[in-house]
Amino acid sequence: MKYISTRSQSPELDFEQAATCGLAPDGGLYVPVEWPKFDHNELKSLIDKSYCEVVLEVMRKFAGDSVPRDQLNQIVTDAYTDFSHPEIAPIRKIRSGIYMVELFHGPTLSFKDYALQFLGRVMDWSLRKRGEHLTVVGATSGDTGSAAISAVAGRDTIDLFMLHPFQRVSVMQRRQMTTNQDSNIFNYAVNGTFDDCQAIVKTIFGDREVQRHHALGAVNSINWGRISAQVAYYFYAALKIGALNTKVSFAVPTGNFGNVFAAWTASKMGLPMGKLLVCSNANDILTRFFESGEMTKLGVKQTVTPSMDIEVSSNFERYLFELYDRDGNRVDSLMQNLTQTGYFKIEKDKLMQSREHFSAYRVNDEQTCETIARHYSETGEIIDPHSAVALNAVNQAESGLEPPVVVVATAHPAKFPETIERTLNIEVPMPKQLQEIIDLPERYRRISSNPEDLKTLMLAS
One DSSP character per residue, 243-284 reads: TTTS-EEEEEE-SSSHHHHHHHHHHHTT--EEEEEEEE-S--
Is residue 273 in some structural domain? yes
pLDDT tens for each residue of 58-114: 999 999 999 999 999 999 999 999 999 999 999 999 999 999 999 999 999 999 999
Strand partners, 31: 4
Q: Is the pLDDT of residue 225 over 80?
A: yes
Is residue 340 in some structural domain? yes
pLDDT tens for each residue of 297-347: 999 999 999 999 999 999 999 999 999 999 999 999 999 999 999 999 999
Residue 298 belongs to a domain with what CATH number?
Answer: 3.40.50.1100
Q: Is the pLDDT of residue 400 over 90?
A: no
pLDDT tens for each residue of 403-434: 999 999 999 999 999 999 999 999 999 999 99
Q: Is 91 exposed, middle or buried (0-12, 13-18, 19+ CB in 10 A)?
A: middle
Domain count, the chain: 1
**Would you state the pLDDT for residue 461?**
87
Is residue 134 in some structural domain? no
Is residue 77 in some structural domain? no
CB 222 within 8 A of CB 29: yes
Instruction: List, by residue number, the catalytic residues.
Output: 112
Domain range for 269: 91-107+225-424
Strand partners, 102: 409
Is residue 374 in some structural domain? yes
Q: Which residue type is seen at 171?
A: V
Write down the H helix ranges in 293-431: 316-323, 328-341, 348-355, 365-379, 385-397, 417-424
Is residue 23 in some structural domain? no
**Res. 398 pLDDT band, cuts 50 70 90:** confident
Please state, in angstroms and rounded to a whole number, the distance separating the CA atoms of residues 428 and 417: 6
Q: Is the pLDDT of residue 399 over 90?
A: no
Is residue 283 in some structural domain? yes
Rounded average pLDDT over 259-287: 97
Q: Is the pLDDT of residue 19 over 80?
A: yes
The widest CA-to-CA distance across the chain, in whole angstroms, is: 58
Is residue 192 in some structural domain? no
pTM of the model: 0.95
